[in-house]
Amino acid sequence: MTDLRARQSELQDLFDTYVDAGLRLDLTRGKPAAEQLDLSNDLDGILEGFYLLQGGTDVRNYGGILGIPEARQLGAEFIGATSEQVMVGGNSSLNLMYQYVEHMMPHWRGEPVKFLCPVPGYDRHFTICEHFDIEMITVPLNDDGPDMQQVKELVSQDAAIKGIWCVPKYSNPTGNTYSKEIVEQFAEIPKVAGDNFRVFWDNAYAVHDLVEQGDELPSLMTAAGKAGTTDSVVMLGSTSKVTFAGAGISFLATSTSQLAAFEKFLSNQMIGFDKVNQLRHVRFLKDSDGIKAHMAKHRDIIKPKFELVLNMLEKHLAGKNMASWNSPRGGYFISLDTRPGLATTIISMAADAGVKLTPAGATFPYGKDPENKNIRLAPTFPELAELESAMDVFVPCVELASLNAELD
């Protein structure tokens, strides 16, 4: 006990030093670093004044809500569907998710609407549900995907459940990739849940590997085609963390009949998305091989940042029973669990010492982590030196908060 008290005092002195230092470091969101964005600078001017598609269409003009054929093919390769099933949107797949939920709301009218939310999960999904007053029901996210037994039981018992959010490859924030068995089970779920049920398959990190041989995610659309449930599948992705985060292109894939219905819905609010930018991306990325080569450059930039964070967690916290964390093979986050009840305290302490973190509870619906223990770390944006400084603050906060709870 005396040794623990001494360590507590030592950590408190260290923490006070960081508070006095006036640091201003930010690990709140998974943004690409400027060095990553520079990889796509050739997008500017790549068209060289040639704006015609092979069929003669001038991309500078009106029309074409579903996108240019070349970009639809690129999207098909990106998220695992056929080009006929894919539409190409603006820079944000989040925008397409929102619009698709809005499109479905009249079909769900007359009864309360509920969504299943594997947790920990993506806060932007939860925000969409809150906006549309959709009740969220959590299900555990295991190493190979959501607890499908619980998913099946819930949808079979409650007809008001109309959707489920999924980040199937390198899940935000845990980094898990769904197994082949889980993907196949998802293809069967609509048979239990009903025709108006939708699987929102947000494949945001489809090409974001941190290792040379990344995880393989089977195509849900292929599995759904065999099961006869493609109408219930909504697959999404974007180049937001591939090219320019604020000026990329996004993809949505579903059955051709459902895509036609969604196109009709969109036609009331737009003539079409930015086809010039779609053509820029096709010329720049070319195809799946081009995407793979481009993302290898991203990996070279961000992999050392993940290694730094993981090495510091291992060096300072391993074996102390104060935290556990994942070692992701891809994606943009490291998920850390503290002892129950301490996440809010640790995040507040880090903020006092000049390090901003994602708010506690953000990875759960309504911002409420029932055990108050999950913290999402986003290593990509800061430079290595800044990241090391942030971890120099964060790690002592975890240890000090744990000791304070144990001793005080």
Q: What percent of the chain has a predicted confidence (pLDDT) above 90?
A: 94
Neighbours of 240 (CB within 10 A): 21
Is residue 1 predicted with pLDDT exceeding 70?
no
392 contacts 315 by C-beta, under 8 angstroms: no
Confidence of residue 110 (pLDDT cuts 50, 70, 90): confident
Which run of H or E residues covers position 26?
strand 25-27
Report the CATH architecture of 51-285. Answer: 3-Layer(aba) Sandwich (3.40)
Residue among 204, 276, 198 at smallest CA distance from 231 = 198
Neighbours of 93 (CB within 10 A): 25
d(Cα 154, Cα 264) in Å, to the nearest integer? Answer: 32
d(Cα 335, Cα 229) in Å, to the nearest integer? Answer: 33
Q: What residues contact residue 43 under an 8 Å CB cut-off, 6+ apart?
A: 243, 244, 247, 280, 281, 284
Is residue 192 predicted with pLDDT exceeding 90?
yes
| 201: helix, strand or coil | strand
d(Cα 258, Cα 19) in Å, to the nearest integer? Answer: 55
How much is the pLDDT for 49? 93
d(Cα 33, Cα 341) in Å, to the nearest integer? Answer: 32
Domain spans in the chain, listed from the N-terminal domain onward = 2-30+292-407, 51-285
Confidence of residue 56 (pLDDT cuts 50, 70, 90): confident
Q: What mean pLDDT do residues 293-306 have?
A: 98
Output the average pLDDT for the chain: 96
How much is the pLDDT for 2? 77
Record: fold of 2-30+292-407? Aspartate Aminotransferase, domain 1 (3.90.1150)
Question: What pTM was computed for the model?
Answer: 0.96
Q: What is the pLDDT of residues 111-127, one digit of tens each?
A: 799 999 999 999 999 99
Neighbours of 269 (CB within 10 A): 9
Confidence of residue 54 (pLDDT cuts 50, 70, 90): confident
